[in-house]
Amino acid sequence: MGGHAVTDFSRREFLTIPAAAGLAGSAFATQGDVGWQRRIRRVGQLNMTEHDPVEMDVEAWADYWASLKVDAVLVSVTGILAFYQTKVPFHRKGKYLGTKDFFGECCAAAKKRGLHVVGRTSPDLNWEDAVQAHPEWFQRNAEGQPVAHTEDPRLFRTCMFSTYMTDYLPAIMREVNSLYDVDALFTNAWPPLGRLPDCHCGVCVHLPGPGTIEYWDRFNERTIYLWKLYDAIAKEKRQANFYFANLGGGIHSSANLVALGELCEWFQCDNQGRGGDNTPIWACASQGRVCRAVQNGKMATNVTGAWSTGPVRWRYVAKSEPEQRMWFNETVASGMVPYHHIIGAEKGLGEDRRVLGPARDFFRWTSQHDPHFRNKASVAEIGVVMGQRTNLFYQASPGMSVGDSINGLYSALLEGRFLFDFVHEEKLSRDELRKYKALILPNVALLSDRQCQQIADFVDGGGSLLATFETSMYDERNRKRSDFGLAEVFGIRRSGAIIGTNGNAYCARIEQRHELLQGFEDTDWIAGAQYRAPIASVQAPVLTVVPGSVAYPPELSYPNPSNTNEPAMVVRQKGRSRLIFVPGDVDGTLWRSGHGDLSLLLGNCVKWISGNDQPVMIDGPGLIETFAWETEPGFALHVLNYTNPAAHKGWIRDFHAIGPETIRFRVPNQRRVIRGELLRSETVLPLKIDGSTVAFTIPQVADYEVAALYCA
Ligand SMILES: [Zn+2]
Contact (Cβ atoms closer than 8 angstroms) between residue 118 and residue 339: no
Q: What residues have CB less than 8 Å from 553, skipping those under 6 apart?
A: none
Predicted confidence at residue 29, as pLDDT, reads 53
Rounded Cα distance, 516 and 575, in Å: 18
Q: What's the CA gap between 65 and 60, in Å, rounded?
A: 9
**Residue 30: per-residue pLDDT:** 62
305 has a pLDDT exceeding 70: yes
**C-alpha of residue 382 to centroid of ligand 1, in Å:** 42
Q: Give 204 Cα–ligand 1 centroid separation in angstroms.
A: 4
Give the model's confidence band at 194: pLDDT under 50 very low, under 70 low, under 90 confident, else very high. confident
The mean pLDDT of 174-202, rounded to a whole number, is 94
At the fourth CATH level, the homologous superfamily of domain 616-711 is Golgi alpha-mannosidase II (2.60.40.1180)
Residue at 443: amino acid letter: N
For 581-602, how does the pLDDT look when each residue is reduced to its tens digit (9 = 90+)? Answer: 999 999 999 999 999 999 999 9
- Determine the distance separating the centroid of ligand 1 and the alpha carbon of 185, expressed in angstroms: 24
Q: Where are the domains of the chain?
A: 41-122+162-368, 380-609, 616-711
Distance CA 351, CA 183 (A): 30
137 CA → ligand 1 middle, Å: 8
**Structure confidence by residue, pLDDT tens digits, 99-118:** 999 999 999 999 999 999 99
Distance 259 CA to ligand 1 centre (A): 23
> What is the pLDDT of the chain when averaged over all its residues?
94
User: What is the pLDDT at residue 655?
Assistant: 98
Residue 646's alpha-carbon distances to 275, 281, 579, in angstroms, are: 14, 8, 36
For ligand 1, an ion, list residues with CB under 5 A.
159, 161, 199, 201, 204
Does 191 sit behind a cis peptide bond, omega within 30 degrees of 0 on the bond before it? yes
Query: Can you tell me the distance from the alpha carbon of 20 to that of 24, in angstroms, rounded to the nearest whole number?
Result: 6
Question: In DSSP terms, which residues pair with 570 in a beta bridge?
Answer: 581
Q: Give, in order, the Cα–Cα distances in Å from 335 to each of 332, 385, 442.
A: 5, 19, 23
CA-CA distance, 638 to 207, in Å (whole number)?
47
Backbone angles phi, psi at 242, to 5 degrees: -160, 170
Measured CA to CA, the distance from residue 147 to residue 158 in angstroms comes to 8
pLDDT in tens, 79-97: 999 999 999 999 999 999 9
pTM above 0.85, yes or no: yes
Predicted confidence band of residue 251 (pLDDT cuts 50, 70, 90): confident
Give the number of other Cβ atoms within 10 Å of residue 674's Cβ. 12
259 Cβ contact partners less than 8 Å away, ≥ 6 residues apart: 220, 224
Amino acid 37 reads Q
How far is Cα 247 from Cα 262, in angstroms, rounded to an integer?
Answer: 12
According to the CATH classification, is domain 380-609 in 1.10.10.10? no
Q: Give me ligand 1 centre to Cα 206, in Å.
A: 9
Task: Kindly report the CATH number that applies to the domain delimited by 41-122+162-368.
Answer: 3.20.20.80
pLDDT tens-place string over residues 31-85: 778 789 999 999 999 999 999 999 999 999 999 999 999 999 999 999 999 999 9
Amino acid letter for position 299:
M
Tens digit of pLDDT for each residue in 29-39?
567 787 899 99
CB–CB of 96/162 below 8 Å?
no
pLDDT at 17 over 50: no
DSSP-derived 3-state class of residue 454: helix
Average pLDDT over residues 385-412: 95
From ligand 1's centre to the CA of 455, what distance in Å? 39
Cβ distance 324 to 306 under 8 Å?
A: yes
CA distances from 613 to 25, 205, 419, 609 (A): 57, 55, 11, 9
The pLDDT tens digits of the residues spanning 480-530 come to 999 999 999 999 999 999 999 999 999 999 999 999 999 999 999 999 999
Q: What is the pLDDT of residue 389?
A: 95
Q: In the 8-state DSSP scheme, what is residue 166?
A: I
